[in-house]
């Protein structure tokens, strides 16, 4: 009987190890964006590509890897120190989209929302607001691409300060 227990345990343990190795989620590492003009650190997949665009009044730093990870970070001078005010403005902008359906998760410094194109095509997005040193940072999902709720939740968690 004890041989059977040991064999069962070994089989379950091997199955667990194989399952861990087949995990499709990308490995996330800390990515310091100070070198790109934004003094924050986020979690990003290995070998994520970082692109910057300076528009004078605003800086856009986009961190991207594959189809499930695309985060533009918009940095500009803060008009207020109230995260709540910036969040309300961002929510108002998102709600103007004709495909906006609902807010999935509402947090003090951001939100995750759903866009319903039709009954079979649902896309998710997020906004996360961070104010630091007179600068306003708005993190959001990329403008191009379809993102699942899981990938958006993962990106939101990756940018939280």
Q: What is the mean pLDDT of residues 13-39?
A: 68
Residue 27 binned pLDDT confidence (cut-offs 50, 70, 90): confident
Digit-coded pLDDT (tens) for 81-133: 999 999 999 999 999 999 999 999 999 999 999 999 988 899 999 999 999 99
Q: What is the pTM of this model?
A: 0.82
Digit-coded pLDDT (tens) for 56-87: 999 999 999 999 999 999 999 999 999 999 99
**CA 83 – CA 131 distance, rounded (Å):** 7
Residue 144, pLDDT score: 87
From first CA to last CA, the distance across the chain in angstroms is 53
């Amino acid at each position: 009987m004890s041989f059977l227990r040991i064999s069962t345990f070994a089989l379950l343990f091997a199955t667990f190890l194989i399952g861990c190795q087949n995990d499709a989620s990308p490995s996330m590492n800390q990515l310091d964006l100070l070198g790109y003009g934004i003094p924050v650190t986020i979690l990003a997949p290995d070998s994520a590509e970082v692109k910057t665009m300076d528009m004078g009044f605003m800086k856009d730093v986009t961190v991207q890897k594959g189809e499930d990870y695309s985060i533009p970070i918009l940095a500009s001078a803060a008009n207020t120190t109230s995260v709540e005010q910036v969040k309300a403005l961002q929510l108002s902008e998102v709600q103007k989209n004709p495909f906006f359906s609902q807010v999935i998760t509402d947090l003090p410094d951001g939100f995750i929302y759903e866009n319903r194109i039709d009954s079979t095509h649902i896309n998710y997005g997020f906004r996360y607001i961070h104010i630091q040193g007179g600068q306003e940072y708005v993190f959001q999902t990329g403008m191009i691409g379809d993102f699942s709720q899981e990938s958006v939740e993962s990106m939101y968690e990756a940018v939280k300060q």
